[in-house]
Amino acid sequence: MATTKTRLGRRSFLLAVGAGGAATAAAVASKVVPQAPTAPGTTVSEPPAKGYQVSEHIRKYYRTTEV
């Protein structure tokens, strides 16, 4: 009988962890900050792209690796 009680305890624990994780994800997703409206006639410039960008020092490295 102890194994049945242990299995139910584990199931309850895993169910609680799953529900807690889902609640946390929902709370984080709901905290999206709305953007302020822009005045008519103004243009919004996009921020510079993130990620890989070829710059002069990258080109210099590529030149040094040519065979």
pTM: 0.36
Tokens of 44: 């919004």
Least confident residue range of 6-10, 20-24, 36-40: 36-40
Q: What's the pLDDT score for residue 24?
A: 87
Question: In the structure, what pLDDT confidence band is assigned to residue 56 with cuts at 50, 70 and 90?
Answer: very high
CA distance 4 to 41: 69
Give the integer Cα–Cα distance in Å for 20 and 14.
Answer: 10
- Radius of gyration of the chain, Cα coordinates, nearest whole angstrom: 27
Letter for the amino acid at 2?
Answer: A
Question: Domains of the chain: which residue ranges?
Answer: 1-30
Residue 22 has pLDDT above 90, yes or no: no
Whether the CB-CB separation of 38 and 44 falls below 8 Å is answered with yes
